[in-house]
Each structure stands twice: as structure tokens, then as C-alpha cells.
Copies of this chain bind each other. A is one copy, B any other.
Amino acid sequence: MTTTNKSAIILCSGGLDSTTVMAMAKNEGYSLYSLSFRYGQRHETELRQARKVSDLFKVEKQMIIDLDFAKIGGSALTDKTDIPKNRNLEEASKEIPATYVPARNTVFLSYALAWAEVLEISDIFIGVNAVDYSGYPDCRPEYIRAFEAMARLATRAGVEGRKIKIRVPLIQMTKAEIIKKGISLGIDYSITHSCYDPSAEGMACGNCDSCRLRLKGFREAGLADPAGYSD
């Protein structure tokens, strides 16, 4: 099961951020292991995109984990609650929104850690962002450092002196900077998807926080967003 020294697990949602992270890790010479999650009916489009992206980057392996999250509830992304639309992004970023999935990144990273133990991989990449983010507590740099410290104590890797690293190359970048970085690495963003509430055909809504952040990013980068929008 042991991989080469230069392997990394990439948390892959098929969205703009995680696709950029995948391109960055590839560019650093890593062999890629893509990890995605199915945790609600709203995510089938996301998983289709994640598969496309993983194929494009020729990952060594793509793993899709089923998460029993809806049972726990507490989020518009897993409940039947309406997704907030057309919000002022500056106002929105001051509170924790309805789309916050409780402890989501902690659960995601815990699975990544489990897989990293089995594959003997030290590097886990996640596309969290603390600048143009939506007010989620588990996107902050101090959270990531605390997870990393915990991960080093949680694992066989830690006991044996191998240091788990949680890599967050986007954490201090604006959405426009992320887009420019991705384009410089040759990403065709028409294959990525960021919407919280896509149509049955997989078209982005254009109005949820995630779509609005993405559109603002393209605007600020002076580029047109190649994604398909419903309106």
C-alpha cells in the first residue's frame, strides 16, 4: 500500500478552489490521491465534477466516501432548508450562514487522515480560504494549524516521527488571485462547479453565496466565468 515519497491526498469537491489546489499540487510534482464525499442529494452534481477533475489530472486513485451527515442535520446543505440567495457578500461574511455544515472540514480532514495513514502519505491538501470565504469557523488558519497539531498526535505516522502536513495554499488568496493562479497552470474553469444549489441539469444558480463569490472573483480578475448558469 506504500506510495512514493511525493504523494498527496487532495480534498476534491470539483469546485474552483479544490481544482486549483489540485493543479498546484500536480505542479509541485506530487502523485495525486483524490478524496471526495457524498453527503446529501444536493451533491450529485458536485461528484460528477469531482470525477471529471480527477480524471483530467490523472489521479492515482479517486476515493468517494459516503457520509451519514443528513442524520445529524443542522445545515441548509444537508437539510431541506432553503439556500440563502442574493445576499450582500460583505454582510454575509460577518455571520455563520445557514449553509455551514457543522464540523464539516473536521470530518473531511479526519477521513483524509485515515487514508493518509493507510497510504503512508504525509501531505493533505485542502482548498480552504480565509479571505473571500463565507464565514465558516473551520476555514481559518488557526483552525488548520490546530488540526495539524492534533493529527500528528493521532497517528502511527506521528508516533514514528513522520509529520502530517495540512497544506492550504489558497488560505490567504483572494478569489481573483486563485483564478489567475489556476489559469496560469492551464485550468479550464468551465469544468469546475461551485454552486450550492445547482439545477437538475447541473447548471449553477448564480445567486447563492458560492456562485456570487465566484462571479465576483472572475470580475475582479478581469475575466468571464466559463461555467454554465441557469439565468
Contact = CB atoms under 8 A, between A and B. Distances in A.
A1 B106 CA distance: 22
Interface in A155-172: 155-156, 158-159
A147 to B, nearest CB: 5
A32 to B, nearest CB: 17
A224 B104 CA distance: 44
Contacts of A223: none
A150 B143 contact: yes
A154 B149 contact: no
A183 interface: no
B149 A150 contact: yes
Interface of A: 1, 63, 65-69, 71-74, 96, 100-107, 110-111, 113-115, 117-118, 137-138, 140, 142-143, 146-147, 149-151, 153-156, 158-159
